[in-house]
Amino acid sequence: MKNFPRLCALATLILLLAAAGARAQEQTLYQYSTLDALLEGVYDGQLTMAELLGHGDLGLGTFNGLDGEMVVIDGKAYQAPFSGKVELMPASARTPFAQVTAFAPEKAFEVKGPMDMAGLQAAIDKAIESPNLFYAIRVSGGFKHVTARSVPRQTRPYPRLVEVVKKQAVFQFDDVQGDIVGFLSPAYVKGLGAPGYHLHFLRADRQAGGHLLAVEIENATVQIDAIPGLRVQLPTSGDFLNVGLGDDKSADLHEVETKK
């Protein structure tokens, strides 16, 4: 038994390392591929929902073939397709682009309406510590009005995303309960992700949603989680390996994110 203290110390070290690993995961924004690749028409990836949800329980993205908008909430991945009928996606579904984190909000506050998108963003901007970190956001409550969109599934040869959104479906929701989820990212992520706010909406009954374009809040709770870490996993096969990613795509990104 003379090795017992050493074994105890080793076991303690293993537990501490495991706890540190768990904390590191909670403090990391995990991203698969890059938004610029998506803008250029890289619509097929190899990452499954099972793998994606192993990295976080809140986030957003899309599905292979650009088949609608992804909303990850409470550890489940939902598809808001062009048809408007939201579906819970199986573990085998794949994504060409997604962002998730293990959501552990550090701040929460109530907002009262009428409050539009600019007012919501101003309230969040006031609550954060620095524009140089990442923030996961969840806004839950009642909304007087929500405008959201989705895009149609694409077939090869894939067009660029700026062309796809010209045929988007726009959904209007009045007097609805639901959740807005997404991220506030620093300006320096241009090329990797979307600088500023990138938000998706899911109705409380999980039957409708999409990429958030406009909102009028009636009353809601805003939760914010500061994220100091970023992990980007790049595809190692497929179209990503040959797509041109050297040009500044800021104008295309603005049109894609804001087109109504």
| Cα 24 from Cα 18, distance rounded (Å) | 10
- Domains of the chain, each with CATH number or no CATH: 28-258 (3.30.1330.80)
For 133-183, write each residue's pLDDT tens digit: 999 999 999 999 999 999 999 999 999 999 999 999 999 999 999 999 999
Residue carrying structure tokens 């909430």? 73
User: The whole model's pTM is what?
Assistant: 0.90
| Cα 176 from Cα 203, distance rounded (Å) | 7
Residue carrying structure tokens 């293990």? 102
What average pLDDT does range 238-258 have in this prediction? Answer: 96
For 55-78, write each residue's pLDDT tens digit: 999 999 999 999 999 999 999 999
What's the pLDDT score for residue 19? 43
Per DSSP, the chain holds a count of helices (H) and strands (E) of 6, 14
What's the pLDDT score for residue 17? 42
Rounded to the nearest 10°, the torsion over CA 133, 79, 205, 184 is: 10
Tokens at 214, concatenated:
């406009």
Residue 125 near residue 3 (C-beta atoms within 8 A): no
Does the structure show a pLDDT above 90 at 6?
no
Residue 24 near residue 93 (C-beta atoms within 8 A): no
What's the pLDDT score for residue 2? 56
Angle (CA) 209 215 217, round 5°? 110
DSSP string, 86-120: -EEPPTT-EESSEEEE----SEEEEEEEEEEHHHH
What average pLDDT does range 110-120 have in this prediction? Answer: 97
What's the pLDDT score for residue 27? 87
List Cβ neighbours of 18 (8 Å cut-off, separation of 6 or more). none
- Identify the CA nearest to 145 among candidates 241, 214, 73, 60: 214
